[in-house]
Amino acid sequence: MVNLNLVSHFLSHNPLLTLLLIAHFLADFQWQSQKMADLKSHNWFYLSEHLCIVALPLIFISVFIPEAFVMALLIFISHAVIDSAKLLLYPFYKNRQLDKMIFLLDQALHLFMIAMIYLLSKHIAIDWLKEAQYSLKLILFLLLITKPVNIIFKLFFNKYQVKNTDDDETITGAGATIGLLERLIMGIFLLFGQFASIGLVFTAKSIARYDKISKNQAFAEYYLIGSLFSIISVLLVYAVCLI
């Protein structure tokens, strides 16, 4: 049996690592537009712009924790090397439909380098970081269940999406925003121990989409996939970050 709370306990005792992970997910997801994410793999200008964004939270960390400057610098260099390699190799994989594998490999390499650089660096004990360890884990939890989950769902489950007909007008991005909000609400319920209340979120969604669910089997299946994925992702991230 996998003991997921080992990760949470490790993060509790290593708040600087939690802070470095927050910096990564801010730069690679929250502060990055879809256009930049699409173009940085084959355009040096957008890659340079992305690397400036990557540098921002690391600079912030270095200013407030000078002892972590070398660590932050090494993480930035590793990020630049990985993303530059992805750009240089783009001609070899651009037509091979390897988006999922490239995304997973890219994130795995970034996270591996952050963990290795942290573990191989001299231990830095900062009192105020220790006191803020739960708050940092909470921020990481909220970051992970929002935009990263949206992107993962779109990448791996977009093939199940039902194309809208002329009678099914919808606002662009509304589905992603609804998914983001439902996971935030579920996360809040989990934090307050109101586990049964999570069902209210999906009751509200089902009422709003009842007509389409009842008349369109393909949409009903896509809706169910999205709802179950939201539940699984929030519970998994909660277990990893906060239990």
**Quick one: 23 and 101 in the same domain?**
yes
Whole-number average pLDDT of the chain = 90
Q: Count of domains in the chain?
A: 2
**Quick one: 123 and 176 in the same domain?**
no
Measured distance CA(56)–CA(64) in Å, rounded: 13
Of residues 168 and 121, the one with the higher pLDDT is: 121
Of residues 1 and 177, the one with the higher pLDDT is: 177
The model's pLDDT over 181-231, given as tens digits with 9 standing for 90+, comes to: 999 999 999 999 988 888 888 888 888 787 888 888 888 899 899 999 999
Residue 124 lies in a domain: yes
**Quick one: 127 and 167 in the same domain?**
no
Domain that holds residue 204: 159-241
**Quick one: 223 and 181 in the same domain?**
yes
**Quick one: 28 and 113 in the same domain?**
yes
Concatenated DSSP letters of 73-86:
HHHHHHHHHHHHHH
**Quick one: 63 and 163 in the same domain?**
no
Measured distance CA(219)–CA(48) in Å, rounded: 40
Residue 166 lies in a domain: yes
- Which amino acid is it at 190? L
Q: Which of 2-6, 76-80, 167-171, 175-179 has the highest mean pLDDT?
A: 76-80
Q: Which of these ranges, 33-37, 90-94, 140-144, has the smallest mean pLDDT?
A: 90-94
**Quick one: 108 and 18 in the same domain?**
yes
**Quick one: 90 and 184 in the same domain?**
no
Q: For 116-155, give one letter per residue: b (16+ CB within 10 A) or e.
A: ebbeeeeeeeeeebeebbeebbbbbbbbbbbbbbbbbbee
Concatenated DSSP letters of 61-76:
HHHH-GGGHHHHHHHH
pLDDT score recorded for residue 166:
52
**Quick one: 36 and 99 in the same domain?**
yes
Residue 200 lies in a domain: yes
Concatenated DSSP letters of the chain:
---THHHHHHHHH-HHHHHHHHHHHIIIIIT--HHHHHHTTT-HHHHHHHHHHHHHHHHHHHHH-GGGHHHHHHHHHHHHHHHHHHHHTHHHHTTTT-HHHHHHHHHHHHHHHHHHHHHHSPP---HHHHHTHHHHHHHHHHHHTTHHHHHHHHHHHGGGPPPP-TT----TTHHHHHHHHHHHHHHHHHHTT-GGGHHHHHHHHHHHTHHHHHH-HHHHHHHHHHHHHHHHHHHHHHHHHT-
Residue 138 lies in a domain: no
Query: Is 50 in contact with 83 (CB distance < 8 Å)?
Result: yes
State what percent of residues in the chain have pLDDT above 90: 65
Residue 38 lies in a domain: yes
| Residue 239 confidence (pLDDT) above 80 | yes
Q: What is the token pair recorded at 81?
A: 């090397």
Given 131, 149, 173, the domain boundary residue is 131
**Quick one: 17 and 114 in the same domain?**
yes
Average pLDDT over residues 93-106: 87
**Quick one: 22 and 113 in the same domain?**
yes
The model's pLDDT over 59-82, given as tens digits with 9 standing for 90+, comes to: 999 999 999 999 999 999 999 999
Query: Is 239 in contact with 1 (CB distance < 8 Å)?
Result: no
Measured distance CA(165)–CA(30) in Å, rounded: 31
Residue 150 lies in a domain: no
pTM of the model: 0.92
pLDDT score recorded for residue 176:
82
**Quick one: 167 and 126 in the same domain?**
no
Residue 154 lies in a domain: no
pLDDT score recorded for residue 87:
94
Residue 139 lies in a domain: no
